[in-house]
Amino acid sequence: MVTSWDLVDSLPPDTKVSQMMTEDIITIGPQASLVAAAEKMMVNYVHHLAVADDRLKILGIISSFDLLGEIISDQEKDLRHSQPA
């Protein structure tokens, strides 16, 4: 995984992704809870997790921004339901 921090440094234009990528990818299963994903990100000091199946096939990526968006969405729903009609 190439992160924004990898790109911050001045890189020669011919630098290949393979030279910068993280090989020890931190994964989480697709059935894991959002809380488990957030905890795994915090423990490992990362902002992205690869979502992988039992055979470690990458199904997608979840980011800290995805989690934050879900939290904000939930709070907005709570606010709408708590306001008098």
The first and second tokens of residue 33, run together, are 């809870």
Q: Domain 25-82, what fold?
A: CBS-domain (3.10.580)
Rounded CA gap, 74 and 32, in Å? 18
What are the tokens at 50?
């690869």
- pLDDT tens string 16-73: 888 878 889 999 999 999 999 999 999 999 999 999 999 999 999 999 999 998 888 8
DSSP bridge pairs for 52: 58
Q: Which is nearest to 47 in space by CA: 21, 66, 73?
A: 66
Global model pTM greater than 0.75 = no
Radius of gyration of the chain (CA): 17
